[in-house]
Structure 1
Amino acid sequence: MTEQNYAILPPGVEPQAFHNAVQQFRQLLGNENVLVKQEQLVPYMKIMMSVDEAGHAASAVLTATNVEQVQGVVRICNEHKIPVWTVSTGHNFGYGTAAPHHRGQIILDLKKMNKIIEIDPDLCTALVEPGVTYQQLADHIKEKGYKLWVDPPAPSAIVGPVGNTLDRGVGYTPYAEHFMFQCGMEVVLANGKVLRTGMGGVRDSNTWQVFKWGYGPYLDGIFTQSNFGIVTKMGLWLMPQPDVFRPFAVKFRKDEDIKDLVEMFRPLSINGIIPNGVVFAGTLYEASATVRRSDYTTEKGVTSKDVIQRIRDEHNIGAWTAYGALYGTHEQVEVNWRIVIDSIKKLGKGEIITEDHAGNDPAFKYRADLMRGNMNLTEFGLYNWRGGGGSMWFAPLSQAKGSETVKQVELATRILNKHGLDYVGEFILTQRALHHLIDVLFDRTDTEEMTRAHDCFAELLGEFEKNGYGVYRVNTAFMDRVANSFGPVQREVNKTLKRALDPNNILAPGKSGIDLDT
Structure 2
Amino acid sequence: MANEDLTFLPPGVSREDFASALRAFRAIVGEDFAFADIDRLAPYSKVMLPEPSARHRPAGAVAPENVEQVQAVVKVAERYGIPLWTISTGKNLGYGDAAPATPGQVVLDLKRMNRIVEVDETLGYALVEPGVTYMQLKQYLEANNIPLWISFPSSGPLAGPMGNTLDRGVGYNRYGQHFENFCGLEVVLADGSLLRTGMGGVENSREWNVYRWGYGPWLDGIFSQSNYGVVTKIGIWLMRKPQKSFGFLCGWDDDEGMGRGIDAVRELHLNKVVENGVLGHTMYAVAQTYRRDEIYTGPGAMPRARVKEVCNNMGLGIWGYISTLYGTEEQIEVNLNIARKAMLATGGQFMDESQPEIFKTPFHHWNLNMTNEPTLTEFTIYNYKGGGGSSWLAPVVRCEGSEAIKQFNLMHGVLDEYGFDYIGGFLIGGRHAEQLTDILYDRNDAEETERARQCYLAMIAALHGAGYGIYRTSTSFMAEVADTYGPAQRRINHRLKQALDPKGILAPGKSGITI
CA separation of 1:81 and 1:337: change in aligned 2, threshold 3 A: same
Within a 5 Å distance, the mapping from 1:44-123 to structure 2 comes to 44-123=44-123
Aligned partner of residue 396 in structure 1, secondary structure: strand
User: Does the 8 A contact of 2:280 with 2:424 survive in 1?
Assistant: yes
CA separation of 1:355 and 1:168: change in aligned 2, threshold 3 A: farther
Structure 1 distance, partners of 2:144, 2:2, is: 50
User: Does the 8 A contact of 2:394 with 2:473 survive in 1?
Assistant: yes
Structure 2 distance, partners of 1:401, 1:422, is: 24
Structure 2 distance, partners of 1:360, 1:268, is: 23
Kindly tell me the number of residue pairs found equivalent between the two proteins: 515
1:52-86 per-position Cα deviation (integer Å, ceiling 9, x unaligned): 10011000011111001100110110000111000
Aligned partner of residue 288 in structure 2, secondary structure: coil
Aligned partner of residue 289 in structure 2, secondary structure: coil
User: Does the 8 A contact of 1:2 with 1:19 survive in 2?
Assistant: no
Q: 1:22 Cα shift?
A: 0.8
Structure 1 distance, partners of 2:369, 2:50, is: 29
> Hey, what does 2:332 align to over in structure 1?
333
Within a 5 Å distance, the mapping from 1:274-293 to structure 2 comes to 274-276=274-276, 278-293=277-292
> Hey, what does 2:411 align to over in structure 1?
412
Q: Counterpart amino acid of 1:249?
A: L
1:35-62 per-position Cα deviation (integer Å, ceiling 9, x unaligned): 2111111111110111110011000011
Matching of residue 511 in structure 1 with residue 510 in structure 2: yes
User: Does the 8 A contact of 2:395 with 2:436 survive in 1?
Assistant: yes
Aligned partner of residue 279 in structure 2, secondary structure: strand
Aligned partner of residue 288 in structure 1, secondary structure: helix
Q: 1:352 Cα shift?
A: 2.5
User: Does the 8 A contact of 1:252 with 1:351 survive in 2?
Assistant: no
> Hey, what does 2:303 align to over in structure 1?
304
User: Does the 8 A contact of 1:3 with 1:19 survive in 2?
Assistant: no
* Stretch moving more, 1-10 or 218-227: 1-10
CA separation of 1:181 and 1:355: change in aligned 2, threshold 3 A: farther
> Hey, what does 1:208 align to over in structure 2?
208
> Hey, what does 1:492 align to over in structure 2?
491
Q: With structure 2 as the length reference, what TM-score do the two structures score?
A: 0.98
Aligned partner of residue 99 in structure 2, secondary structure: coil
Within a 5 Å distance, the mapping from 1:53-452 to structure 2 comes to 53-276=53-276, 278-299=277-298, 301-354=300-353, 356-358=355-357, 360-361=359-360, 363-452=362-451
Structure 1 distance, partners of 2:3, 2:347, is: 72
Aligned partner of residue 416 in structure 1, secondary structure: helix
Aligned partner of residue 503 in structure 1, secondary structure: coil
Q: 1:363 Cα shift?
A: 1.9
Aligned partner of residue 135 in structure 1, secondary structure: helix
Query: Unpaired segments of 5 or more residues in structure 1?
Result: none
Q: With structure 1 as the length reference, what TM-score do the two structures score?
A: 0.97
Structure 2 distance, partners of 1:3, 1:494, is: 39
User: Does the 8 A contact of 1:155 with 1:378 survive in 2?
Assistant: no
Q: 1:310 Cα shift?
A: 3.4
Q: 1:315 Cα shift?
A: 1.3
Structure 2 distance, partners of 1:33, 1:65, is: 9
1:316-355 per-position Cα deviation (integer Å, ceiling 9, x unaligned): 1221000111111111111111111111233333232435
User: Does the 8 A contact of 1:7 with 1:38 survive in 2?
Assistant: no
Q: 1:214 Cα shift?
A: 0.7
User: Does the 8 A contact of 2:58 with 2:107 survive in 1?
Assistant: yes
Q: 1:255 Cα shift?
A: 2.8
Structure 1 distance, partners of 2:28, 2:373, is: 38
User: Does the 8 A contact of 1:247 with 1:355 survive in 2?
Assistant: no
Structure 2 distance, partners of 1:481, 1:312, is: 34
Q: 1:299 Cα shift?
A: 4.1
Q: Counterpart amino acid of 2:289?
A: T
User: Does the 8 A contact of 2:288 with 2:384 survive in 1?
Assistant: no
